[in-house]
């Protein structure tokens, strides 16, 4: 039998409580089921958890446990295939979460310990590429609530290369493959011992350092061509061997943070690139640094080598101001420029962009303010890496180290975060 009362105070008027009768209270403050407890002869009357009638019988309020809703789990592979990113729908009234993983969907291992109730993400590191992983999460019990059922998901880890998700106008790297479908070599080197040249390809997704070490054993090697991985055929080449930056010194591969670098001498090292227009929208990303001596160290730019001083998309590090600048200069000397503080002694992720007549510079994903500009940039241009055409000569040589440059001529505002993350995941710059 069920009997319903508006408040717990009304229960006290019941002369006899009966075993087997369910007493319901609708008042929100004492809502729930109340049952006669014949063994209780001492509990005090508080109308919240215990009611005592005139006969000395006691009703006790039963706590109703509500099952927590099952969290919805989402598992995605990290871009390098060695992590899994987990997220789940929040259950604010839970006592936290338990997270587990498995490789066979049968034997489970806990990860992350007890995860706080306000946390809904977890990155599972140390994974193996091309491997299927199963995951499950449940919300833990809390006051008035039972734990939830398991929310589940699975994912096969995979590597997503930078240009698998974005299309660039030009892409050059001496450390890694940038597009899964790219079938060419990374770069071409010439060794000083006998002036022999050789293409250096990839071992899996990364530059074949073993091949480079073997080719340049006991001698120096300089990069004479960096092959364009964008698919546009815009290879970066030197005019002569004297313009080629070093990548092996006395048989030792030049590296920063465990990644290959080209060392530019700041005097005459630079690459020519088959020219292409940047237009009214461009994004330039570079991994470079370790600069010294030269005031203006050009990483990338389009400039004239005939007359005037027009430049377009000139990305450079300035040792006088400790800034990364992105600049446009027209034939009349009008300048549009944005700058961001940089630590010149470090390798950093450096970028400059022009969108909707606004220039912006970024260092390690920290961006400058927009700088409006109406400057149209270079006419009669030449695209260069490591220097820029300025008037009738190549000037502003880069003195430092460089590993990678990727240029876009379409709006990448929606992809900037992903591009930064991809490059930083490989180089670990910030």
Task: Write the DSSP assignment of 148-177 as a string of letters.
Answer: PPPEEEEEE--B--HHHH---SEEEESSB-
Q: Are 34 and 77 in a shared domain? A: no
Domain edge (last residue) among 138, 156, 174: 156
Question: Residue range 202-220: average pLDDT?
Answer: 97
Q: Are 220 and 234 in a shared domain? A: yes
Placement of tokens 């002694």 in the chain: 345
User: How do beta strands 145-146 and 66-67 pair?
Assistant: parallel
Cα 381 to Cα 307: distance, rounded to the nearest angstrom: 10
% of the chain surpassing 70 pLDDT? 97
Placement of tokens 């995951």 in the chain: 135
Q: Are 320 and 179 in a shared domain? A: yes
Domain edge (last residue) among 126, 156, 186: 156
DSSP character for 190? E
pLDDT the model gives residue 92: 82
Number of domains in the chain: 3
Cα 270 to Cα 254: distance, rounded to the nearest angstrom: 17
Tokens encoding 162: 């930078």
Whether the predicted pLDDT of 65 surpasses 70: no
Q: Are 286 and 423 in a shared domain? A: yes
Whether the predicted pLDDT of 306 surpasses 70: no
pTM of the model: 0.74
Higher per-residue pLDDT: 236 or 309: 236
User: How do beta strands 22-25 and 50-52 pair?
Assistant: unpaired
Residue 98 Cα distances to 135, 139, 417, angstroms: 11, 7, 30
pLDDT band at 202 (very low <50, low <70, confident <90, very high): very high
Contacts of 30 (CB under 8 A, 6+ apart): 7, 8, 47, 48, 61
Domain edge (last residue) among 156, 190, 216: 156
Out of 6-10, 182-186, 207-211, 355-359, least confident range: 6-10
Q: Residue 352: which domain range?
A: 162-427
Cα 361 to Cα 355: distance, rounded to the nearest angstrom: 12
Cα 247 to Cα 219: distance, rounded to the nearest angstrom: 11
User: How do beta strands 73-77 and 246-249 pair?
Assistant: unpaired
Cα 381 to Cα 106: distance, rounded to the nearest angstrom: 63
Q: Are 112 and 218 in a shared domain? A: no
Q: Are 99 and 52 in a shared domain? A: no
Q: Are 52 and 172 in a shared domain? A: no
Contacts of 172 (CB under 8 A, 6+ apart): 226, 227, 228, 229, 236, 385, 404, 405, 406
Out of 169-183, 381-395, 414-428, least confident range: 381-395
pLDDT the model gives residue 344: 95
Cα 71 to Cα 96: distance, rounded to the nearest angstrom: 11
Q: Are 110 and 241 in a shared domain? A: no
Q: Are 181 and 135 in a shared domain? A: no
Whether the predicted pLDDT of 93 surpasses 90: no
**pLDDT digits over 118-176, tens only?**
999 999 999 999 999 999 999 998 866 788 999 999 999 998 899 998 999 999 999 99
Q: Which of 394, 384, 237, 396 is nearest to 305 (CA)?
A: 394
Cα angle: 245, vertex 251, 256; to 5 degrees: 60
Q: Are 170 and 86 in a shared domain? A: no
Cα of first residue to Cα of last residue in the chain, in angstroms, is: 68
* CB-CB contact of 277 with 359 (8 Å): no
Q: Which of 159, 158, 184, 153 is nearest to 171 (CA)?
A: 184
Exposed/middle/buried for residue 216 (C-beta within 10 Å: 0-12, 13-18, 19+): buried
pLDDT the model gives residue 379: 62
Whether the predicted pLDDT of 79 surpasses 90: no
pLDDT band at 378 (very low <50, low <70, confident <90, very high): low
Cα 112 to Cα 321: distance, rounded to the nearest angstrom: 45
pLDDT band at 429 (very low <50, low <70, confident <90, very high): very high
Q: Are 349 and 221 in a shared domain? A: yes
Tokens encoding 102: 């498995």
* CB-CB contact of 23 with 12 (8 Å): no
Tokens encoding 371: 């700088």
Placement of tokens 């989402």 in the chain: 74
């Amino acid at each position: 039998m069920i009997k319903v009362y508006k408040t717990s105070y009304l229960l006290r008027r019941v002369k006899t409580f009966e075993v087997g009768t369910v007493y319901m209270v609708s008042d929100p403050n004492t809502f729930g089921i109340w049952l006669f407890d014949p063994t209780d002869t001492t509990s005090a009357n508080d109308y919240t958890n215990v009611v005592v009638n005139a006969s000395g019988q006691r009703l006790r309020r039963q706590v109703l446990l509500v099952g927590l809703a099952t969290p919805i789990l989402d598992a995605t592979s990290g871009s390098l295939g060695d992590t899994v990113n987990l997220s789940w729908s929040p259950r604010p009234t839970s006592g936290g979460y338990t997270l587990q993983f498995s490789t066979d969907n049968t034997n489970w291992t806990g990860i992350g310990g007890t995860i706080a109730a306000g946390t809904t993400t977890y990155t599972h590191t140390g994974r193996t590429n091309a491997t299927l992983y199963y995951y499950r999460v449940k919300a833990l019990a809390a006051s008035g609530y039972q734990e939830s059922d398991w929310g589940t998901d699975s994912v096969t880890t995979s590597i997503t290369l930078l240009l698998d998700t974005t299309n660039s106008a030009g892409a050059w790297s001496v450390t890694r493959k940038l597009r899964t479908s790219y079938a060419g070599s990374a770069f071409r080197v010439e060794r000083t011992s006998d002036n022999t040249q050789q293409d250096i390809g990839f071992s899996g997704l990364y530059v074949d350092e073993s091949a480079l070490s073997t080719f340049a054993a006991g001698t120096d090697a300089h990069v004479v061509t960096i092959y364009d991985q964008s698919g546009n055929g815009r290879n970066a080449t030197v005019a002569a061997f004297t313009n080629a930056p070093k990548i092996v010194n006395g048989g030792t591969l030049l590296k920063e943070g465990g990644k290959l670098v080209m060392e530019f001498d700041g005097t005459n090292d630079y690459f020519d690139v088959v020219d292409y227009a940047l237009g009214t929208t461009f994004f330039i990303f570079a991994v470079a640094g370790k600069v010294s001596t030269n005031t203006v160290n050009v990483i990338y730019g389009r400039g004239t080598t005939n007359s005037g001083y027009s430049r377009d998309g000139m990305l450079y590090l300035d040792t006088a101001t400790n800034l990364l600048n992105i600049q446009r200069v027209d034939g009349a000397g009008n300048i549009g420029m944005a700058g961001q503080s940089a630590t010149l002694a470090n390798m950093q992720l450096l970028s400059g962009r022009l969108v909707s007549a606004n220039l912006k510079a970024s260092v390690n994903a920290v961006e400058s303010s927009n700088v409006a500009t109406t400057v149209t940039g270079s006419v009669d241009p030449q695209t260069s890496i490591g220097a820029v055409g300025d008037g009738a000569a190549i000037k502003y040589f880069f003195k430092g180290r460089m590993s990678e440059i990727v240029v876009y001529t379409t709006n990448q505002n929606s992809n900037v975060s992903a591009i930064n993350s991809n490059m930083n995941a490989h180089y670990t710059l910030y």
